[in-house]
Amino acid sequence: MFLRAGALSLGLLVLSRLLGLVRESAQAAAFGATGLGDVAVLMLALPDWIAGLLAAGALSYVLLPAWARDPAGVAALQRRVAWVLLGIGAGVALLVAVARGPALDLLAAGLKETLRPAGMQALVFSAFAIPLSLLAALWTTRLQHEREFVGMYAANLVVNGVLVAALWFVAGRQDLTWLGVGLLVAMAARLGWLAWKMAKVQRQSPAHMARSGVATNAQPQRLPDEPATGSPTAATWTLAALAAGLPLALPFVARSLASQSGEGALATFNYAWKLVELPLMLAIQLVATLAFPAIARAVAANEGTTAIRNGFALAWTLACASAAGLVLAAPALAELLFGWGRMQPEALVNVADWGRIGAWGLLPQACIAVGVTVLAACGRMAPAVLAYAAGLAVLLFSGFEHGHALMVLMNLVLIGVAIVVIVALGRWRDVPWRTFAVAFTSLLACDVGSRFVPVPGMAGQLAMAVVGGVLVIGVTAAASPEVRAALRR
């Protein structure tokens, strides 16, 4: 049910994420885990992170239902939101550019004085890119509404392709000015691609065809340039922004805290988190996204048990399988993805160690992803928002700086959020506890086995990671009717 329905989305998402990993690899090769590498990571990541924190997830939560209720007002609401986002983006960009010194102290505290001018210059480039990133988030949401998935995911290919080329160009020059130019070109190229796809979508919209005298089955009540009614409230926007942005804030804040331990720590933590992020996006959050329509329908009909149990079972099983792969092959994956060019061997050891710790955080995130989906279907997102806010406060005031300790603390915070989300559901019977136990036991067996029988060499570790992941899925599927049902349909 969940996997077949998302075959196209999965393929495009995998391709875009793989190119994102190529970009991270090129970044590691160009700068390594150095102070300059910290600045490069910060400059390239900041615009899309701010867009995600302020708008990207909230746009989907708020606009997709609003557009579904009022098809004739899609273009009008989109224009109003675009102007608001551009205004917000310009304000945030001005704030970042003017206060770039204090901002650099917060985001990359470990930089040496000699690199502060480069860091402040990088923040200026990031500031210019923020409005472009916010507008791209809105247009991507419109393509999502129109089910134009090729346009959505190809936009990521465009921006990452340009950035990979820019990183290749600056690798031998160690000059962040050209990388900043490449960032702006990449953002502009993404907007150009999205604008082209948007134009094609709008030519097919019911309102446009009605203006052109083309008969349609839709019956819009007004044209797109007329005022829309029933716009989302400020409270709705705020809750949606917090629900989507706070989960993104956790790794970003942890990365900034890690930078206090010295130059290169920010980049090292970033690469370690990338080991965790890929299976998180592809295996866990995709399951929750694909399960959302079935869960929403089941909850509305007060018959959510089967859909929710299957979603939990599949997400947890894939999380355990992914964690097994990282536990068994973290050194090999770190070397394969980031062991190029100027990347230092000692930094690779930290990437592997921190990534192995972060792998255990995939399990609570599997529960959170499905649980929040159910809460969203029920219109009860506040518990998750409060739990993430409390976890973020714990992280900020922990006083931890070392990447190892920060990864452990993040895992504990995520476990706390998962507990709050499951309690807020109030549906203990919908959680497949037996499936959880079988998959977790299989993961523990892989972890213990790797400690007693270490496998040398990159090829051997990668092979064992595949075997471990398949073993976890196979054992769990054999013992769990929920997993079998989710894989079969």
Q: Give the chain's end-to-end CA distance (angstroms, integer).
A: 4
- Secondary structure, 3-state, the chain: CHHHHCHHHHHHHHHHHHHHHHHHHHHHHHHCCCHHHHHHHHHHHHHHHHHHHHHHHHHHHHHHHHHHHCHHHHHHHHHHHHHHHHHHHHHHHHHHHHCHHHHHHHHCCCCCHHHHHHHHHHHHHHHHHHHHHHHHHHHHHHHHHCCCHHHHHHHHHHHHHHHHHHHHHHCCCCCHHHHHHHHHHHHHHHHHHHHHHHHHHHHCCHHHHHHCCCCCCCCCCCCCCCCCCCCCCHHHHHHHHHHHHHHHHHHHHHHHHHHHHCCCHHHHHHHHHHHHHHHHHHHHHHHHHHHHHHHHHHHHCCCCHHHHHHHHHHHHHHHHHHHHHHHHHHHHHHHHHHCCCCCCHHHHHHHHHHHHHHHCCHHHHHHHHHHHHHHHHHCCCHHHHHHHHHHHHHHHCCCCCCHHHHHHHHHHHHHHHHHHHHHHHCCHHHCCHHHHHHHHHHHHHHHHHHHHCCCCCHHHHHHHHHHHHHHHHHHHHHHCHHHHHHHHC
The string over 245-268, giving b where at least 16 C-beta atoms fall within 10 Å of a residue's C-beta and e elsewhere, is bbbbbbbbbbbbbbbebbbbbbbb
DSSP code of residue 115: G
At 189, list the tokens. Answer: 């190229």
pLDDT value of residue 304 = 58
Kindly give the confidence (pLDDT) of every residue in the chain, 489 residues in length, as a single tens digit, with 9 standing for 90 and above: 444 445 666 677 778 888 888 899 999 999 999 999 999 999 999 999 999 888 866 787 788 778 877 888 888 889 999 999 999 999 999 999 999 999 999 999 888 899 999 999 999 999 999 999 999 999 998 988 887 878 888 898 899 999 999 999 888 777 889 999 999 999 999 999 999 998 887 776 554 444 334 333 333 333 333 334 456 677 777 777 887 788 889 999 999 999 998 889 999 999 999 999 888 877 776 676 666 666 766 666 666 578 788 888 988 999 999 999 999 999 999 999 999 888 999 999 999 999 999 999 999 999 998 888 788 777 788 899 999 999 999 999 998 999 999 999 999 999 999 999 999 988 777 789 999 999 999 999 999 988 887 777 889 999 999 999 999 999 999 999 988 887 766
User: Tokens 């988030």 sit at which residue?
Assistant: 137
Provide the pLDDT for residue 209.
Answer: 40
> What is the token pair recorded at 455?
């496998």
Nearest 5°: phi and psi at 380?
-130, 70
Nearest residue to 131 (alpha-carbon basis) of 170, 95, 91, 89? 89
Burial 392-418 (b: 16+ CB within 10 A, else e): beebeeeebbbbebbbbbbbbbbbbbb
Burial pattern 331-340, b for ≥16 Cβ within 10 A else e, equals bbbbbebbbb
CA-wise closest residue to 334 among 28, 37, 17, 44: 28
Look up residue 144 and give its two tokens: 């999502």
Domain spans, the chain:
1-6+233-489, 34-222
- Number of Cβ within 10 Å of residue 470's Cβ equals 13
Report if pTM > 0.75.
yes
